[in-house]
Amino acid sequence: MTHHHSQTMGQQLGRRSWAEPWKIKMVEPLHMISRKEREQALLEAGYNTFLLRSEAVYIDLLTDSGTSAMSDRQWAGMMLGDEAYAGSRNYYSLEEAVQTYYGYSYLVPTHQGRGAEHLISQAVIKPGNYVPGNMYFTTTRLHQEIAGGIFVDVITDEAHDPTSLHAFKGNIDLDKLEAVIKREGADNIAYVSLAGTVNMAGGQPVSMANVKAVRALCDRYNIRVYLDATRMVENAFFIQEREEGYTDKPIAAILKEFCSYTDGAWMSGKKDHLVNIGGWLAVNDPELFEELRNMVVVYEGLHTYGGLAGRDMEAMAIGIAESVQDDHVRSRIGQVRYLGDLLIDWEIPIVQPIGGHAVFLDAKGFYPHIPQNQFPAQTLAAELYRDSGIRSMERGVASAGRDPKTGDHYYPALELTRLTIPRRVYTQAHMDVVAEAIKTVYDAREETQGLKMVYEPKYLRFFQARFEPI
């Protein structure tokens, strides 16, 4: 039997459980500091989990970005780094992997996703242009705004409702998209910014039918569609699971078909690609490629390394091939669901359906007595750390930032605390411990008070803001 498209052991045995398609070769010790030390650490960090030292953290669910465990093959690939300034052989491995699995013609490597977002935004957006997309992402929207663009959210209404069980809450609402095109004029639309899955909506997928329809609509108006492919492998899993006609198709085929309806993509390799650093931008238009290839030497590095070491590109190329294996994705999302299902059983409010990369606690449901301008999701992240040393992340009003025109907070409908699961890192027993800690914090919810922001940086404030209890 070949490695590709292999069945999981569970399927072969006719059982329903998933198990990781790997075993552990190297381990890293965990430890928990005392409650007193955690209180002190929280104070020093201004109640912001981004400002904690990782040594003060027990189980780290801050992000799935750059936190994956690499395989023995990837580590072996690191030893094959060709650290030439120009024309490294690892660049060509990466180019081939992106062309094979994503199908785009031209590749520009970048140090991570936001490096690619910077290049595409600067190259394509003219000041005053509109950029419709399926919900904002923090760094993506900021680069669009810095380039003079105006982001417009055209995601389906269900995405804003944490209790809606819609199968594809990441979908673009075609009526909303067409209304923006008609109102602003097709010439004023820089491109459609499509993400699969949608991080801020809870890791929710876009259907194949939706991307096809978006493509058709954009063709009528001659508008380009660029994909944020950061967690597109996970999106492909949901299509396989939920969309008619895709049950028997491998993840790799679904991924490639989806990308074929778009004109290019930017990528944070730190997620799906199972590496600690790396990203890329890929397009089909040769003229745009020429411009991007020229810009990358200004901001990232030569066009055959884009801010990466040769070894990083090799690990990423190998990670791409590993990431599209059906049994890998199934166990990755299976673990996220295992945690989410425990919380649902205990009637703890979370975003449903459970998404691809994380379980999102619904902080408005958790703390209905804390108004949104007192940062309920930030409060929850702080309380969880205090209770258990588990690190999560705010995805609510602090992350949303301020409207550049009015200066007011954006008040997103979703006020969430994200428990993000690194790939291939923690075990099911860790998930049990996490669920129990959340239950403890939930049981104490009525006594919990909100926070006020006492320091606010200008850009992407959630990373460095400081808070104090009210």
Q: In the complex, which residues of this chain contact ligand F0G (CB under 6 A)?
A: 63, 65, 112-114, 137, 139-140, 195, 199, 228, 230, 268, 270, 279
Shorter beta-carbon distance to ligand F0G: residue 239 or 370: 239
CA pair distance 173, 170, nearest whole angstrom: 9
Q: Are strands 106-110 and 466-469 parallel, antiparallel or unpaired?
A: unpaired
Specify the length of the chain in residues: 470
Inter-residue contact 359 to 336 (CB < 8 Å): yes
Which residue among 141, 224, 270, 271 is the active-site one? 271
Which residue among 395, 418, 423, 424 is the active-site one? 395
Shorter beta-carbon distance to ligand F0G: residue 21 or 133: 133
Which residue among 102, 238, 261, 462 is the active-site one? 462
228: annotated active-site residue: yes
Give the residue closest to ligand F0G by C-beta.
113
Collapsing DSSP states into helix, strand and coil, what is residue 152? strand
385: annotated active-site residue: no
Shorter beta-carbon distance to ligand F0G: residue 18 or 462: 462
Which token pair is 232? 């597109």
Query: One-letter amino acid identity for 112?
Result: Q
Which residue among 138, 230, 420, 448 is the active-site one? 138
Inter-residue contact 58 to 420 (CB < 8 Å): no
- Residue 101: CB minimum distance to ligand F0G, A: 18
138: annotated active-site residue: yes
CA pair distance 239, 375, nearest whole angstrom: 34
173: annotated active-site residue: no
- Residue 290: CB minimum distance to ligand F0G, A: 24
Shorter beta-carbon distance to ligand F0G: residue 358 or 370: 358
- Residue 268: CB minimum distance to ligand F0G, A: 3
Which residue among 58, 91, 137, 375 is the active-site one? 137
What's the DSSP call for residue 410?
Answer: P
Query: One-letter amino acid identity for 179?
Result: A
Neighbours of 397 (CB within 10 A): 25
- Residue 2: CB minimum distance to ligand F0G, A: 32
Which residue among 64, 153, 173, 228 is the active-site one? 228
CA pair distance 324, 326, nearest whole angstrom: 6
Inter-residue contact 94 to 87 (CB < 8 Å): no
Shorter beta-carbon distance to ligand F0G: residue 114 or 364: 114
- Residue 423: CB minimum distance to ligand F0G, A: 13
CA pair distance 467, 378, nearest whole angstrom: 9
The residue behind tokens 């390394």 is 305
- Residue 457: CB minimum distance to ligand F0G, A: 16
63: annotated active-site residue: no
| Rg value, the chain, Cα | 21
Residue 389 gets the label, from left (phi > 0), alpha (psi -120 to 50) or beta, of left
Q: What is the DSSP string of 31-59?
A: ----HHHHHHHHHHTTT-GGGS-GGG-SS
Shorter beta-carbon distance to ligand F0G: residue 195 or 434: 195
- Residue 386: CB minimum distance to ligand F0G, A: 22
Shorter beta-carbon distance to ligand F0G: residue 21 or 264: 264
85: annotated active-site residue: yes
Inter-residue contact 394 to 378 (CB < 8 Å): yes
CA pair distance 399, 465, nearest whole angstrom: 10
The DSSP bridge partners found for residue 80 are none
Q: Which residues are catalytic?
A: 85, 137-138, 228, 271, 395, 462
